[in-house]
Amino acid sequence: MLANIALQTVLKSSVGVFRGSGCSALTAAPRLTGGCFAIPPPVRHYARVVKKKKTGPESQLSDLPPTMLKSGYAAVPLSQTTDDVVKRLLSLELASHSDKLQLKKEQLIAKVQRDENDYTSVEVRVAMLTAKIRNFQEHLQKHNKDKSNKRRMLMDIDRRKKLLKNLRLVNYDAFEKVCEQLGITYSFPPEYYRRVTHRWLAKKALCIKVFQEVQKQKAEQRLMMQSLAPADPKAAKTA
């Protein structure tokens, strides 16, 4: 009976404070322990640690100044004398990512193309694939679970490898120039592709052991033939 009366008084009071405990009745519900009410200790909610932002590699578009005009308006003489607002609209400051990527492709193509009208040579195709591959790499740094774009990037890498391999066989000077201008590190493919399994390793070890035993037998046969042969072959012929 006394417990019910005490519970009613606690619920009716809006800011009831128990003696000996430094918290109010609103912070936690009272519990009946040993015939008297007790309030559990308050829960401390600590502030979360601020996560540090991951700093990825520098973007290939970071070297493009925002005041540069887009690729379609750079050669127009009227764009140089227009108002500042129009220049801002035609510049890279308000341009989309695709416009910036197109300008970067043109810059890479200008480094390796054979002449001004060259847009189909192997060097130009390697430059275009390089810009696309680097764009995919920057995208996958932020969205590492994007499997479709990762597959497209790997396909472009394979195409570029084939083009560089053929260019290296046909024109080595152009191959060196392309790798130097575009910052490409060419790695030679392995001579032999095979999936390593336990069965293949055991078979390889057995073949090596058999080969060594055959070589030992051949060496013993040579020593035996040398011991049976006469010391002076001319004397044997005269006899």
Q: Could you report the per-residue pLDDT of 12-49, keeping only the tens digit for each?
A: 554 444 444 444 444 455 555 555 666 777 777 766 76
Output 137-144 pairs: Cβ under 8 A, ≥24 positions apart. 137/57, 138/56, 138/57, 138/59, 138/60, 141/56, 141/57, 142/56
CA nearest neighbour of 160 among 191, 193, 190, 186:
186
Say how many Å lie between the first and final Cα of the chain, rounded.
Answer: 138
Claim: this prediction has a pTM higher than 0.75 = no
pLDDT at site 218: 95
More confident residue, 226 or 82: 226
Task: Quickly tell me which residue has 């009208």 as its tokens.
Answer: 117
**What pLDDT, in 10s, does the model give residues 185-237?**
988 877 776 778 999 899 999 999 999 999 999 999 999 998 887 665 555 55
CA distance 131 to 137: 10
